[in-house]
Amino acid sequence: MDWVYRGFETSLIGLALCLGLAACLTLGTERTPPGTLSVTLPMLTVTAPAP
């Protein structure tokens, strides 16, 4: 039964690694036009003209 838990734990570690890598690769994909200010929160992105 120990091998079941070990396999489950290993698959969760692999999934976390893949999700973290995907998050790092998609971090810098959005570019804002010059002269704007962008603030990104976990569930919200706000872009407004810079003063």
Model pTM score:
0.48
- What's the whole-number mean pLDDT along residues 6-28? 85
- pLDDT single digits (tens) 22-33: 887 777 656 666
More confident residue, 18 or 29: 18
DSSP 1-51: -HHHHHHHHHHHHHHHHHHHHHHHHTTT---PPTTEEEEEETTEEEEEE--
Percentage of residues in the chain having pLDDT higher than 70: 59
Instruction: State the total domains in the chain.
Output: 1
Whole-number pLDDT of residue 1: 78
Q: Which domain holds residue 42?
A: 1-49
Mean pLDDT throughout 21-44? 69
